[in-house]
Amino acid sequence: MQPTSDHPYAMAKRAGDFIFVSGALSVDKDYQPVEGRREALAAALERMTERLATAGGELKDLVKLTYFVTDITLREEANEQFSEHFAEARPARTFLEASNLPYGATVEIDAIAYVGE
């Protein structure tokens, strides 16, 4: 069952053995932007992980992530975060700069997970 949302789309959608996770922002539970570079990256990853879990996925299941950031220099911190959370089977990743993100967020992460086998 999909949790309810204020948004007109699924937070996470399972299709066969794949889970597609909509972009998760660096905001708190009240949609307030999280301050700090590492903190913003952590918040976006946490929101994405929560969404992934609603469809039965875990971080170990991720095969592709896309990071959208308002400051491309966050790449170094994102690389560190990636190494911490994905030490063994690293998923593919795309890293892009965007001029603005919703709710004043500085980071947005969407993902694809594979839960087969």
**What confidence tens digit (pLDDT) does each residue in 38-65 have?**
999 999 999 999 999 999 999 999 999 9
CATH of the domain at 79: 3.30.1330.40
Range of the domain at 54: 12-114
Task: Give Cα separations from 65 to 27, 61, 91 (angstroms).
Answer: 18, 11, 7
Q: Assess if residue 21 is contained within a domain.
A: yes
**What confidence tens digit (pLDDT) does each residue in 59-85 have?**
999 999 999 999 999 999 999 999 999
Q: Assess if residue 3 is contained within a domain.
A: no
Q: Assess if residue 1 is contained within a domain.
A: no
Q: Number of structural domains, the chain?
A: 1
Q: Assess if residue 2 is contained within a domain.
A: no
